[in-house]
Amino acid sequence: MATPPKTRRPDALTMEVVELIGDVVARFYEDYEEAAGDHALTGAQARLLSLLSLEPLPMRKLAQKLKCEPSNVTGIVDRLETRGLVERRPDPADRRVKVAAVTEEGREVARSLREELRFARAPLAGLSDEERESLRDLLRRMLNS
């Protein structure tokens, strides 16, 4: 029976990078929550609206993307539907399944949310195109590992 490889303790640089990533994520979510609040939305409602502005999705897929229970997604969609930002439609591929889709007003709110996110806009603008491309490529590589 093979023994599992010993895990090395992370070095100081790795730990610093992990801390910085955590700080970036926390700042992004703070900014996202503030932008959502400006539209009388919760962060979860704003994230769902942003996802749906890309494409209509079934509840189960939304739950997977938001990493929450489908019943939570149903409640979020209900509240957004009441405000006229989202609607339920039959799935063209399977009429038995309902998908949530953004309305035109919801698309406008999602666009406005993206434009209002201030965090990282100035710091990223201070980087050259080459530096931003490098950062993008490194982040993609991390996510694909």
Q: What local confidence, expressed as pLDDT, does residue 41 receive? A: 96
Buried b (16+ CB within 10 A) or exposed e, 66-99: beeeeeebeebbebbeebebbbeeeeeeeeeebb
* pLDDT value, residue 51: 94
Residue 12: per-residue pLDDT: 93
Sign of CA dihedral 106, 111, 114, 117: negative
- Residue 110 buriedness (CB in 10 A; 0-12 / 13-18 / 19+): buried
Q: Could you tell me the residue ranges of all domains in the chain?
A: 30-140
Q: Cα dist. 121→28, 58, 114 in Å?
A: 11, 32, 11
Sign of CA dihedral 63, 69, 74, 80: negative
Instruction: Report the pLDDT value the prediction gives residue 75, as an integer from 0 to 100.
Output: 95
Give pLDDT tens digits along the chain (145 positions): 555 556 678 899 999 999 999 998 898 888 889 999 999 999 999 999 999 999 999 999 999 999 999 899 999 999 999 999 999 999 888 888 889 999 999 999 999 998 888 877 778 888 999 999 999 999 999 989 8
In this prediction, residue 32 carries a pLDDT of 87
CA distance 109 to 103: 10
Architecture of domain 30-140: Orthogonal Bundle (1.10)
pLDDT of residue 3: 56
pLDDT at site 92: 86
Residue 116: predicted pLDDT = 87
